[in-house]
Amino acid sequence: MMTSHARTEELLQEQKNKLYLRNDRLFAILFVVEWICLIGIAAIVSPKTWVATSSSIHPHIWTATLVGGLSIVFPLILVKTHPSRAITRHMIAIAQMVLAALLIHLTGGRIESHFLIFGSLAFLAFYRDWRVLITASAIAAADHLLRGIFFPQSVYGILYASPWLTVEHVFWVVFEDIFLIISCLQGNREMHEISSRQAEVEASKENVELLVEQRTKELRQSEKQVATQFEVSRLLAEATSLDECYESLLACVSNGVFGDESVLCSAIWLKDESDKDLRCAGFWKRNEKCEMFERVSKEMSIKSESDLPGRVLSAGSIQWLNLVSDDVNLQRKACAREAGLRTAIGFPIVIEGRIAAVVEFYVDEVKQPSMETFDLLVAIGRQIGQFMLRRSSQEMNDQLAKIVESSTDAIYGLNLDLIITGWNKGAEKLYGYTAKEAIGKSITMLVPPDNLREFFMNIEKVKEGACIESLDSTRQRGDQLVDVSLSLAPIYRNGEMVGISEIDRDISERKAAEKRVSEFYSIVSHELRTPLTSIRGALGLIEGGIVKQGSQKCTDLIRIGRESSDRLIRLINDILDLKKIESGKFELQLEPIAADRLLEEAVNSFKGMADERGVKLRLENEPPRVTINIDKDRCTQVLSNLISNALKFSKGGSEVTVNGVLDKEQIRFIVVDNGPGIPDSELPKLFQKFRQLDSSDTRKSEGTGLGLAVSKALVEQHGGQIGVQSKVGKGSTFWFDLPLHYKAPV
């Protein structure tokens, strides 16, 4: 055994080598950085030298590049080839002082650059080797002495330097060295103390092991049982589930229960799906004589009170059969006798007062019960039971953790100081913070200032033991507010509240949908009320005799009533069409249609509306003469929607043009107006259901916000696309593309 002093020195040297190696690598990086900086300083301070009008690269740049590079090459090689060696440390010290001297030279002896020498000594002190400081100080002193004599301007920035100036600089270096050397010696003493304590701990450990070894010699049987329990613990600790270690576990118990090879076979029985009968889940045998016994065991199902496992299940305690051949209840007696099995022992595995499994083993000689054996079997049964309970709990916890982690809701935990302690993927997605960024921060970073009072009131309720469920609120996501439905509940550990769990569900879409539905109700009620009011008013005037039947006024009122009825029919048809499309019950009536005729009919049908509004409506160019496979009524409906919208939002005197453009295998229909245009921020809303840019009851233009949504759905039913380009104040261009030879999917 190594002496304590020798071990201390060995540990101390290991610590020093690690320290030397780390500092060698740090200085290697520092050298490269310093070299680059020196070249940069030379380039900045004196990039060129001039002779009359001619210039060339200043010698300082070459000095920084060559001298600096040569001074660090050898130390870098030593760091690579001889790390942690004394020669490497001293060469690093020399190189560092040369670089410091070079910096002083490049700056013309500026006093500020002398501080690199003191800083370098401090860095070198990291080695905790005072000899390195002596080497570095000697280099610095020699440099100041020689350059102070022969080139004082390089080191002091003056043409003549008194020798006392060199003495002064050397004095300050020595002054710093005194403190650094004391620090190095103190550090070495601390390292020695640490190594000494570690050596003492190791020596104590060895003494304990010797004492244990002596004790185990006196208690060999106990050691066998302890070893068996330890081996069982190890097997269970390494196993992820019980079924993967049945055989090794049974072998361990069989070899350790009596400390010999008398156990020939063993088996573990688990309850089946009915939770009443036992099935053999694992079997171990020492030799081939037990093959028949194994086969019979695996094929049978044992009920309570029958055979050995059933008896253990019924009694709930260890069962010991001194002689297997004399037991009348053993169903496998014939196979046991043939295999030479004499004594059988079974013991239960209990989980929270319930027998979860039974282990049995068979011996080739008669064994008498003993308290030591009973204690060992009880302990092993408890170990296996705890393992099964622990694995069951772990599987449940893992499952819950996976559920939490994979949940799209933001789920996170807080301690009682409202610091975030847990953060799932849903929270990352909702709030934009990773778990690393969020954990350890206060939850108040997610609570808008206006909601803080309400938030703290809810927290107080939770701390009193209450649960808050599905509370609509808002949370802060960066600079934005997000609508959430939050649930808060206390977290308990051993009956004591230790934190709070919070679940935030993003309900932005629900809120937006509620807003759209509210707007839709407002729009639809307006769209229903307006024509119904017109119809009712017209009929009331006719019915009351205020307007004479057959008169021009009566005819006008009847026309108003009919137009209002048509408006109601269009509204209802739009709603029904959209419903059919969304439910997949909408079918197109495809037929070959001439594109030019389709455009002409659409434009002609709106001539009257255009004239009423004082808007010029025309076909911009001669439409392409091609035939397309479409549902004519539905495509006419799309064109009508786009043209009516263009007329509706165009001022008197402006122009609306309609055009068709052929592009390879598709045709594009285009409607251009000179209306007010649409802001870019509003464009994404155009083709959404129940959406209008102005959804107020006082809006100037009628409509439900369904026309463009229905148009988009109809175009997509034809395998096409619809879109818009618009500029505020200049007008809008709506278009939709249709394939020339579309075939409806089967």
**pLDDT score of 703:** 54
What local confidence, expressed as pLDDT, does residue 49 receive?
A: 55
The pLDDT of residue 201 is above 70: yes
DSSP string, 367-413: ----HHHHHHHHHHHHHHHHHHHHHHHHHHHHHHHHHHHH-SSEEEE
Which H or E element spans position 427? Answer: helix 425-431
What is the model's pLDDT at position 698?
43
Residues whose CB is less than 8 angstroms from the CB of residue 620 and which lie 6 or more positions away in sequence, other chains included: 657, 658, 659, 672
Q: In what order do the strands lie in the sheet with 319-321?
A: 301-302, 278-285, 263-271, 354-363, 343-351, 319-321
More confident residue, 162 or 183: 183
CA 29 to chain centre: 35
Among the listed residues 397, 296, 313, the one whose alpha carbon sits nearest the alpha carbon of residue 360: 313
Least confident of 177-191, 275-289, 566-580: 566-580
Q: Is the pLDDT of residue 334 over 60?
A: yes
Q: Are 517 and 537 in contact (CB under 8 A)?
A: no
Phi-psi region at 614: left, alpha or beta (left = phi > 0; alpha = psi -120 to 50): left
- Residue 401 structure tokens: 């953790």
Can you read off the two tokens belonging to residue 629? 């496979």
CATH topology of domain 588-739: Heat Shock Protein 90 (3.30.565)
Whether the per-residue pLDDT at 699 is higher than 50: the answer is no
**CA separation for the pair 715, 721 (Å, rounded):** 6
Please say if the pLDDT value at position 673 is more than 90: yes
Confidence at residue 267, expressed as pLDDT on a 0 to 100 scale:
92
Do the two domains 408-499 and 512-579 of this chain adopt the same fold? no
- How does pLDDT run across 120-176, given as a tens digit for each residue? 888 888 888 888 888 888 888 888 778 877 877 777 767 776 778 778 787 888 888
Q: Secondary structure of 299-331 in the HEC alphabet?
A: HCEECCCCHHHHHHHHHCCCEEECCHHHCCCCC
Amino acid at 55: S
Compute how many other C-beta atoms are within 10 angstroms of the C-beta atom of residue 434: 12
Edge-to-edge, what's the strand order for the sheet holding 616-619?
616-619, 655-663, 666-672, 731-739, 721-727
DSSP secondary structure letter of residue 419: B
Asked if residue 603 lies in contact with residue 568, where contact means CB atoms within 8 angstroms, the answer is no
What is the tens place of the pLDDT at every residue in 434-452? 989 899 999 889 899 888 8
Listed in sequence order, the residues at least 6 apart from 253 whose beta carbon sits closer than 8 Å to its beta carbon are 228, 232, 266, 359, 361, 380
Please report the pLDDT score of residue 198 as a whole number: 84
Lowest-confidence pick of 3-17, 475-489, 588-602, 609-623:
3-17
Task: Label residue 316 left, alpha or beta by phi (over 0 means left) and psi (-120 to 50 means alpha).
Answer: left
In the Cβ-directed half-sphere of 293, how many Cα atoms lie within 13 Å? 26
Beta bridge partners of 591: 630
Q: 240-244, 289-293, 403-407, 645-649 — which is least confidently predicted? A: 240-244
Q: List phi, psi (to 5°) of 739.
A: -70, 150
pLDDT score of 52: 45
Report which secondary-structure segment, H or E, holds 486: strand 480-493
Domain extents in the chain: 4-202, 239-398, 408-499, 512-579, 588-739
Query: Can you give the length of the chain in residues?
Result: 746
Closest CA to 668 of 740, 735, 594: 735
Candidate CATH numbers 1.10.490.10, 1.10.3720.10, 1.10.760.10, 1.10.287.130; the one for domain 512-579: 1.10.287.130
pLDDT interval class at 499 (50, 70, 90): very high
What are the two backbone dihedrals, phi and then psi, of residue 471, each rounded to the nearest 5 degrees?
Answer: -95, 120
Facing residues of 348 across strands?
Answer: 358
Q: Angle, to 10 degrees, between the axis of helix 115-124 and the axis of helix 163-218?
A: 20
Contacts of 111 (CB under 8 A, 6+ apart): 157
Beta bridge partners of 263: 363
Name the residue among 612, 596, 579, 585 with its Cα closest to residue 689: 579
Helix axes 552-583, 707-717, angle to 10 degrees: 50
State phi, psi for 256 to the nearest 5 degrees: -105, -15
Sign of the four-CA dihedral 88, 90, 94, 100: positive
Instruction: Write 485-490 long-range contacts (CB < 8 A, 24+).
Output: 488/458, 488/459, 488/462, 489/462, 490/462, 490/463, 490/465
In CATH, the number for domain 408-499 is 3.30.450.20
8 Å CB contact between 226 and 379: no
- Measure the CA–CA gap between 23 and 15, rounded to whole angstroms: 12
Say yes or no to pLDDT of 376 above 90: no
Give pLDDT, residue 171: 83
**Of residues 514 and 250, which shows the higher confidence score?**
250
pLDDT of residue 655: 92
Q: 73-82, 101-110, 330-339, 616-625: which has the minimum mean pLDDT?
A: 101-110
The neighbouring-strand residues paired with 481 are: 476
pLDDT for 525: 63
**For 171-187, b where at least 16 C-beta lie within 10 A, e where not — what string?**
eebeebbeebbeebeeb
Convert the pLDDT of each residue in 449-485 to its tens digit. Answer: 888 899 899 999 999 889 988 888 888 888 888 888 8
What pLDDT band is residue 689 in, cutting at 50, 70 and 90? low
Residue partners of 622: CB distance under 8 A and separation at least 6 = 596
Three-state DSSP class for 249? helix
| CA angle (545, 548, 551) in 5-degree steps | 160
Percent of the chain with pLDDT over 90: 13
- pLDDT tens-digit readout, 409-437: 889 999 999 999 999 998 888 888 998 98
Listed residue (690, 709, 477) closest to 581, CA to CA: 709
Average pLDDT (501-512) is 85
Is residue 54 over pLDDT 60?
no
pLDDT of residue 210: 79
Q: CA nearest 643: which of 677, 602, 702, 614? A: 602
3-class SS at 658?
strand
- Model pLDDT, residue 234: 84
Reference 641, options 578, 587, 586, 560; nearest CA is: 578
| Mean pLDDT of all residues belonging to the chain | 82
Encoded tokens for 235: 């097997």
- pTM score of the predicted model: 0.41
- How far apart CA 203 and CA 4 sit, in angstroms, is 7
Q: Are the beta carbons of 24 and 82 closer than 8 angstroms?
A: no
With helix as H, strand as E and coil as C, how does 487-515 read? EEEEEEECCEEEEEEEEEEECHHHHHHHH
697: which residues sit within 8 A by CB, 6+ positions away?
522, 526
For residues 601-607, average pLDDT: 87
| Nearest alpha-carbon partner for 639 in 655, 656, 654, 624 | 656
Q: What percent of the chain is predicted at pLDDT more than 70?
A: 88
* pLDDT of 696 above 60: no
Could you read off the pLDDT of 272-305 as tens digits, one per residue? 777 778 999 899 998 888 999 999 999 888 888 8
CATH homologous superfamily for 239-398?
Answer: GAF domain (3.30.450.40)
DSSP string covering 171-185:
HHHHHHHHHHHHHHH
